[in-house]
A = this chain, B = another copy of it.
């Protein structure tokens, strides 16, 4: 007879009261708490954030919430991939201790009327193409951080501008939490892991994998040359590789995304967004 294989069981909270009761229990035992917010459709990138939270705290909470306030009406809220049972198994396997799974009505009940806005770092790049997004992100992250009250929260560098917006918001609102960056996890060909990669057909998937090498080469060119020329080169290469359009390729300050003039004069990051059919991919690298 074969041994029974049990699904690892992951405790689940779907109300703030239940979540806080569990976290309070940990705290009363002197345990620290790490937190990883997600929109589900988990992949190895998310799991690496969970593991990183586990290295920095005694207990790890992950949330799965596809936040409607960060999608525009024209975007992919309805078709965003959902796989909650699989997500719970993956989180348990990565050492997560509690899954917080709030409903939209828990997060935004009738009468809800507060917004959070971050200017500056949120306005260019993604902010130009998805003007509703970072307000929605700042609001939901502020809420989640206040609900969980973790010591440390881990955000992926894959969404680099989001990481900077969250850092700015947490600092400006004096949230008592350390915001930690998690490195991007890549497929064998360099494609940054993303829930939206699931939208790609095999031909698109092959094209998508070329973005990473182009950005690496552009970063190398920018280190010794003129950033604007490296950006223009990368834009042309991305189109030549088979992408349908390029929203931006930008070499910017890694601290506040401000542009450089003729030379890079401090810590820098190359960031890009490009479309393959309906699928919009983003990526970024240190320069």
Interface: A175 (CB within 8 A)? yes
Binds B, one of A165-173, A179-187, A204-212, A223-231: A165-173
The A interface is mostly helix, strand or loop, or mixed, namely mixed
CB distance from A174 to the nearest CB of B (A): 4
With a 10 A CB-CB cut-off, give which of A113, A115, A116 has the most chain B CB atoms.
Answer: A113
26 A-B residue pairs with Cβ-Cβ distance under 8 Å, sorted by A, are A16-B174, A111-B120, A111-B168, A111-B256, A113-B118, A113-B119, A113-B121, A113-B168, A113-B172, A114-B117, A114-B118, A114-B119, A114-B168, A114-B169, A114-B172, A114-B173, A115-B116, A116-B116, A117-B117, A143-B172, A143-B173, A143-B174, A146-B173, A146-B175, A146-B176, A147-B174
A contact residues, range = 20 to 34
Nearest B residue to A175 via CB reads B146
Query: Could you tell me if B113 and A120 are in contact, using CB atoms closer than 8 angstroms?
Result: yes
Interface: A50 (CB within 8 A)? no
Nearest B residue to A123 via CB reads B113
CB distance from A127 to the nearest CB of B (A): 12
- Distance A147 CA – B174 CA, assembled complex (angstroms): 6
> 1/0 per position for A141-152, CB-CB distance to B under 8 A?
011001101000
Q: Which residues of B contact A146 (CB under 8 A)?
A: 173-176
Nearest B residue to A108 via CB reads B172
CB distance from A4 to the nearest CB of B (A): 40
- Distance A120 CA – B146 CA, assembled complex (angstroms): 23
- Distance A175 CA – B175 CA, assembled complex (angstroms): 10
CB distance from A113 to the nearest CB of B (A): 4
Interface: A36 (CB within 8 A)? no
Interface: A130 (CB within 8 A)? no
Q: Which residues of B contact A143 (CB under 8 A)?
A: 172-174
Nearest B residue to A143 via CB reads B174
Query: Could you tell me if B172 and A112 are in contact, using CB atoms closer than 8 angstroms?
Result: yes
Q: Which residues of B contact A119 (CB under 8 A)?
A: 113-115
- Distance A174 CA – B168 CA, assembled complex (angstroms): 19
Within 8 A of B (CB), among A103-135: 111-121
Q: Which residues of B contact A91 (CB under 8 A)?
A: none
Nearest B residue to A114 via CB reads B172
- Distance A118 CA – B114 CA, assembled complex (angstroms): 4
